[in-house]
Amino acid sequence: PVTVMLGYSDMLSRWGWEDEEILDEGIAAIRSEAENMKSLIERLLFLARADLNRLVVNREIIDMAALLSEVTQKGQLIATHHTLTLQENAPARIVGDVVLIRQMLRIFLENAVKYTPVGGKIFLASQPEGNRLHVIVADTGIGIAPEHQAKVFERFYRVDTSRSKAGAGGTGLGLAIARWIAEAHDIRLSLTSEVGRGTTIHLYIPLVKEDESAGKAPAQ
C-alpha cells in the first residue's frame, strides 16, 4: 500500500493540478490504500500483543442475543449488496470480552461479504446445544476447497484463486485473529464449506449457567 500511495502522490503532484479526473482517481486510490494499511497495522499489532500476552481480556456477562442483533444491524450497513438475516437468536448469556467477541463476529461477517458475490445471502443464527451456544455465520459464496479449510486459520494464509487477484484484497490475518479470540474464550471454532456453494463458520460458546448469572447485570 505504501508504494501505491507514493506512486499516486507523485502522479498528483505532477498532473493533479490540471486534470480533475486524475485528482479524483488519485485521492480515491490513496484513501483506499490508507484504509488497507490501517487495517493491516491494526491486525499486526493485535497479533504482536497477543504473542506477548499484552492483550487484556476483560470478562463480563454478555447478552449474546443483543450482541448478535447489533452486529447484524451494523453489518447490513456495510453489506449493501447482500442480504443479511439473523435467522434464530436464542436468549443466551456468555462470559467474555464484548469488544473481542464483537471483533471476532465482524471478521466472519467481513469474510462472508468479501467472498460472496453480489446478491448473495449471509445469515447468522444461534441456538443452545447442551452447555454451549451454537452460533453460525453462513454465506452462499465461493466456498473453500477441502485442502485449504484447515489452513485458512493460519497467519497470512490466503486461498490463491483468480478471484482473490481480481480485487478481494486482504492480509490473511482475519481468521488467525478470530481463532485467537475464540481460544481466549474457550470457544470451539470450526468451518464447513463447499466450493461454489458457501461457507459456514461454527462457534460453540460456553453458556453461563443461569444460577451463576443471577443478580448480575447483563452487558452488551
- Shortest distance, position 152 Cβ to ligand ATP, whole Å: 4
How far is the C-alpha of 171 from the C-alpha of 178, rounded, in Å?
14
Residues ≥6 apart with Cβ < 8 Å to 53: none
According to the binding rule CB under 6 A, does residue 75 interact with ligand ATP?
A: no
Determine phi and psi for 94, rounding to 5 degrees: -130, 170
Determine, following the binding rule CB under 5 A, whether residue 141 of this chain makes contact with Mg ion.
no
Shortest distance in whole angstroms from residue 137 CB to Mg ion: 12
Residue 134 CB, nearest distance to ligand ATP (Å)?
A: 18
Q: Which stretch binds Mg ion (CB under 5 A): 35-43, 88-96, 169-177, 191-199?
A: 169-177
* Stretch 102-131: interaction string toward Mg ion, x if CB under 5 A: ---------x--------------------
- Tell which residue, 37, 193, 61, 176, has the closest CA to residue 116: 193
Among 101, 174, 180, 181, binds ligand ATP (CB under 6 A): 174
Closer to Mg ion by Cβ: residue 120 or 174 = 174
Q: Among ligand ATP, Mg ion, none, what binds residue 172 when CB lies within 5 to 8 Å by partner kind?
A: ligand ATP
Which is nearer to Mg ion, 90 or 157 (by Cβ)? 157
The residue from 71, 144, 181, 208 that contacts ligand ATP (CB under 6 A) is: 144
Choice from 75, 120, 174, 198 touching Mg ion (CB under 5 A): 174
Interaction between residue 171 and Mg ion (CB under 5 A): no
Least Cα distance to 123 among 65, 76, 63, 184 occurs for 76
How many Cα atoms occupy the beta-carbon half-sphere of 35 within 13 Å?
A: 7
The strand pair at 83-89 and 121-129 is best described as parallel
- Binding flag, residue 82, ligand ATP (CB under 6 A): no
Helix or strand run (H / E) with residue 201: strand 198-206
In DSSP terms, which residues pair with 95 in a beta bridge? 61
Residue the block writes with cell 483506499: 32
Distance CA 86, CA 126 (A): 9
CA pair distance 200, 203, nearest whole angstrom: 10
**Closer residue to Mg ion (CB): 93 or 158:** 158
Q: Which residues bind ligand ATP (CB under 6 A)?
A: 43, 111-112, 114-115, 139, 141-144, 152, 157-159, 170-176, 199
